[in-house]
Amino acid sequence: VLVAPASANVIGKIANGIADDMLTTTVMACPCKKIVSPAMNHNMYHNPIVQDNIEKLKHFGYEIITPATGMLANGDIGDGRMPEESVLFEAVVKEIACEKDLAGKKVLISAGATREPIDPVRFITNHSSGKMGYALARAAMHRGAEVTVVAAHTDVEPPLFVNVVPVQTAAEMYDAIVSRAQDYDFVIKAAAVADYTPAVTADNKIKKKDGDMSIPLVRTKDILKALGENKRPGQILCGFSMETENVLENSRKKLESKHCDMICANSLKSAGAGFGTDTNIVTLITKNSEESLELMSKEQVAHKILDKLLAIVQP
């Protein structure tokens, strides 16, 4: 049951067991999950009595959708605006889209393309859009997991109901992931991280001159290797391998050298796979198996990846 918009009056009735109309009677009689979207005047929403009633609903297992901030019915600007319909829809989908086979699990995912600054104007990056990482985050969230995404630059909006940690550089991503990894059951490295970064970042824009120019580069820290070397017992580590040749051979070497449980390998030369697309073609490589998937949407690929990782935990 989704109650949207939920007025202070309705919230107060339900929180205190009053069922004197069709809505409150229906809500009281339903044993299913209940989602409430408060929508009202800013001051009314922040009234301690209303906030206490909202906390009561949370105590009894109701999910509360945080109101949006914006123009309210009385012309004021503030909290209390009902969120967009897409937000309400996603709240319902989160509950009903999938079996919650990841309930109680914590999933850490990296997504997007890091940017390594040359000067205040220029940077080194790659073509990753972040679509695969965000598809994994959405799929894991739909399956009941608590999801955190460490996101570098992306071309798409992050999914709702996941925690997003924004970063820019490979060094920032290393710190954000390694400092959190021990608390997670699954770590999936889907980001495209720069292997090299400028040795020195100029404070001012580097001006164009006659002749050629070279930029000294230094190696960035290997995030996947650090995760593999410090993996806690029971933790599942999954990496990605984007190749242009010898895909399976190079990916299996990566699986072993980085101490991963699985590598998702794909070729940049395969039509429908690679950067920026809504589809992908991957091969899931574990110590004892290789499973090649057909062309499918990145959402479908994400669920196949999660299925395989769960099979490693529960063979």
Report, as residue numbers or ranges, the catalytic residues. 126
Cβ atoms of residues 127 and 151 within 8 Å = no
HSE-CB of 264 using CA atoms within 13 angstroms: 28
Residues 6+ apart with CB under 8 A from 135: 297, 298, 299, 301, 302
How far apart CA 146 and CA 12 sit, in angstroms, is 30
Cα gap 15→11, rounded to integer Å:
6
Q: Which residue has the tokens 């901030």?
A: 69
Instruction: Find out whether the peptide bond into 5 is cis, omega within 30 degrees of 0.
Output: yes
Question: Which residue do the tokens 């970063």 mark?
Answer: 167
Buried b (16+ CB within 10 A) or exposed e, 137-160: bbbbbbbbbbbbbbbbbbeeebbb
By the 10 Å C-beta count (0-12 exposed, 13-18 middle, 19+ buried), 24 is classed as middle
**How many of the other CB atoms lie within 10 Å of CB of 261?**
20
Q: What share of the chain is helix, strand, coil (3-state, %, to 5)?
A: 30, 25, 45
- Specify the DSSP element, H or E, that contains 54: helix 48-59
Residue 115: phi and psi, rounded to 5, are -125, 120
